[in-house]
Amino acid sequence: MKSDASSNKNPKIPFYSKHIKITLFLLLLVLLSLGYFLVVNPQKNRYNQAKNDIQSKKQEIESGQAINRKINNVIKQYGSVSPLDRQRLSDVLPLGSDKSSIFVNIESIAKQAGIDVSVISVSDHQDNTTSANRDILKQADNAPSQATYQLAEAQITAGFENVNYISLKKLLNLIESNLRILDIQNFSFNPEESKLELNLKAYYLK
């Protein structure tokens, strides 16, 4: 009888009930580990890749070699093309700054990148023709019945909101492939506030 009473007083408790805190901790640890490897880590890798790509783009921007080649090639062709082809070329390097089209162009690029434009300002430079480009333009000017053109610049400052590393990478790619020549001078990105400021140059003939 004593034995039966003793066994009733000390029933066997399951392990998970006896160690409920340890069990919950281990379960939470497993869930956090799964969440990291299945969600956080892949997203982190994407952002790191985007940051590396953006750094590469920034180095290309600082060199400015690609944009200068693009401008020089367009100017070389400008003096020898027909009026119809010249009209098509005006989409790339227009005659006159055409500020309204710059506003539309920047807003369109931002929309494609999935970000919002907060501010755009455009100002003209009087004459920023480089000596190399001036020589090229003179060659074009020597063609029969051609007017005299100079390469001029419009300075653009644009602010954007709701920007992350992925959309920033897309924005830079869109600017690089844009039909009208846009040269990024520098940019400032604040990932904590999701804000971006770009300083660009747009080129035109005058």
**CATH number of domain containing 187:** 3.30.70.60
| Average pLDDT of the chain, as a whole number | 75
pLDDT over 90 percentage in the chain:
27
Judge whether 6 lies within some domain: no
- Global pTM reads 0.55
The pLDDT of residue 56: 74
Judge whether 2 lies within some domain: no
Least confident interval from 18-32, 40-54, 140-154: 140-154
Domains of the chain: total: 1
The pLDDT of residue 171: 94
Judge whether 7 lies within some domain: no
* Rounded Cα distance, 196 and 118, in Å: 10
Residue 105 belongs to domain spanning: 63-205
Judge whether 55 lies within some domain: no
The β-bridge partners of 195 are: 161, 190
Judge whether 138 lies within some domain: yes
* pLDDT tens digits for range 74-103: 666 666 666 766 666 777 778 777 888 899
The pLDDT of residue 17: 58
Give the tokens for residue 12: 């066997």
Encode 73-130 in three state secondary structure.
HHHHHHCCCCHHHHHHHCCCCCECCCHHHHHHHHHHHHHHHCCEEEEEEEEECCCCCC
Judge whether 171 lies within some domain: yes
**Mean pLDDT, rounded, for 145-150:** 59
